[in-house]
A and B are shown apart, each in its own frame.
Chain A
Amino acid sequence: MTSQELRTGAPVGPGHLAAPGGAGPSAPSTPPAANRMSRGRWWREVGWRHAVGLAAVAFAVFPVLYIVSAAFNPLGSVVSTSLVPRELSLVNFQALFSEPSRPFGRWMLNTLAVCTSVTVIQVTCSALAAYAFSRFRFRGRRGGLLALLLIQMFPQILATIALFLLFTELGTVIPAIGLNTLLGYVLVMCGNAFAQVWLIKGFFDSIPQSLDEAATVDGAGHATIFFRILLPLLQPILAVTGLLAFVGVISEFLIASIFLREAGVRTVAVGLWSVIENDRSNNLGLFAAGALLTAVPVVLLFQYLQRFIVGGITAGGVKG
Chain B
Amino acid sequence: MVQQQLSTAPQESPAAHPPPVGSRSVPVLLLKVAVLAVLLSTVVSLTPALVAAERWGFLVFFWVLVVLVVAVYATRRAIPLKYLLPGAVLLLSFVVYPVISTFQVSLTNLGDGTRATREEATAQIIGSSVVQTPDAPRYNLTVGTAGSPTAGPFAFLLVDPASGEASVGTEDGLEPLPGATVTDGFVTAADGYELLTPVEVNDASAALAELTVPTEGGAIRQLGIRQAFEGSTPLVYDEDAETITNTQTGVTYAPELQGDREFYVDPDGQRLSDQSWAADVGFDNYVRAFTDARILSDFVGIFGWTLVFATLSVASTFALGTVLAVVLNDRRVRGQKVYRSVLLLPYAIPSFISLLLWSGFWNTDFGLVNDLTGLGVNWFGGETTAKAAVLITNLWLGFPYMFLVVTGALQAIPEDLKEAAGIDGASGFTGFRTIIFPLLLIPTAPLLVASFAFNFNNFNTIFLLTGGGPFTPDNPTAGGTDLLISYTIRLAFGASGAQFGFASAIAVLLFVITGVVAALQFRLTRRLEDVI
Tell me, in angstroms, the Cα distance from A166 to B95 when the chains sit together. 12
Given known contacts A136-B80, A153-B518, A154-B99, A221 and B105 CB-to-CB distance under 8 angstroms: no
A9 pairs with B442, CB closer than 8 A: yes
**Main secondary structure on chain B at its contact with chain A?**
helix
A314 pairs with B2, CB closer than 8 A: no
B339 pairs with A172, CB closer than 8 A: no
A163 pairs with B98, CB closer than 8 A: yes
Tell me, in angstroms, the Cα distance from A254 to B358 when the chains sit together. 18
Closest to B401 in A: A313
Given known contacts A25-B411, A34-B332, A154 and B514 CB-to-CB distance under 8 angstroms: yes
Indicate if A95 sits at the interface (CB-CB under 8 A): no
Residues of B within 8 A of A21 (CB): 337, 340
Indicate if A64 sits at the interface (CB-CB under 8 A): yes
Residue in contact with A284 in the complex, picked from B352, B360, B463, CB distance below 8 Å: B360
When each residue 40-51 of chain A gets 1 if its CB lies under 8 Å from chain B and 0 otherwise, what string results?
000011100110
Indicate if A311 sits at the interface (CB-CB under 8 A): yes
When each residue 162-193 of chain A gets 1 if its CB lies under 8 Å from chain B and 0 otherwise, what string results?
11111001111111001110000001101111
Residues of B within 8 A of A291 (CB): 353, 356-357
Indicate if B3 sits at the interface (CB-CB under 8 A): yes
A159 pairs with B351, CB closer than 8 A: no
A46 pairs with B354, CB closer than 8 A: no
Closest Cβ of chain B to A213, distance in Å, is: 11
Indicate if A219 sits at the interface (CB-CB under 8 A): yes
Residues of B within 8 A of A162 (CB): 97-99, 101-102, 105, 504
Indicate if B182 sits at the interface (CB-CB under 8 A): no
A10 pairs with B443, CB closer than 8 A: yes
Residues of A within 8 A of B366 (CB): 78-79, 281
A173 pairs with B349, CB closer than 8 A: no
Given known contacts A251-B352, A253-B464, A220 and B453 CB-to-CB distance under 8 angstroms: no
Of the candidates B55, B340, B348, B357, the one having the most CB atoms from chain A within 10 angstroms of its own CB is B348
Given known contacts A49-B330, A169-B55, A180 and B151 CB-to-CB distance under 8 angstroms: yes
Residues of B within 8 A of A29 (CB): 331-336
Indicate if B429 sits at the interface (CB-CB under 8 A): no
Indicate if B473 sits at the interface (CB-CB under 8 A): no
Indicate if B315 sits at the interface (CB-CB under 8 A): no
Indicate if B422 sits at the interface (CB-CB under 8 A): no
B86 pairs with A125, CB closer than 8 A: yes
Indicate if B430 sits at the interface (CB-CB under 8 A): no
Indicate if B270 sits at the interface (CB-CB under 8 A): no
B50 pairs with A173, CB closer than 8 A: yes
B86 pairs with A175, CB closer than 8 A: no
Closest Cβ of chain A to B391, distance in Å, is: 14
Residues of A within 8 A of B346 (CB): 60, 63
Indicate if A15 sits at the interface (CB-CB under 8 A): yes
Closest Cβ of chain A to B251, distance in Å, is: 35
Contacts A9-B442, A56-B324 supplied; 8 other A-B pairs, CB < 8 Å: A52-B323, A59-B396, A156-B94, A158-B507, A160-B489, A161-B503, A280-B360, A319-B347
Using CB atoms and an 8 Å cutoff, list the residues of chain B in contact with chain A.
Answer: 1-3, 5-6, 9, 13, 16-18, 20-24, 28, 46, 49-50, 53, 55, 58, 78-80, 82-84, 86-88, 90-91, 93-99, 101-102, 105, 110, 146-148, 150-151, 153, 320, 323-324, 327-337, 339-354, 356-358, 360-361, 363, 366-368, 396, 400-401, 404-405, 407-409, 411-412, 424-425, 442-447, 450-451, 453-454, 457, 459-460, 463-464, 485, 489, 492-493, 500, 503-504, 507, 510-511, 514-515, 517-518, 521-522, 525-526, 528-529
Residue contacts A-B, CB under 8 angstroms, 23 given: A9-B528, A10-B442, A10-B443, A25-B336, A25-B411, A60-B342, A66-B357, A136-B80, A138-B78, A151-B95, A153-B521, A157-B489, A159-B101, A164-B493, A165-B105, A172-B53, A173-B55, A180-B150, A191-B90, A193-B87, A194-B88, A206-B2, A208-B6
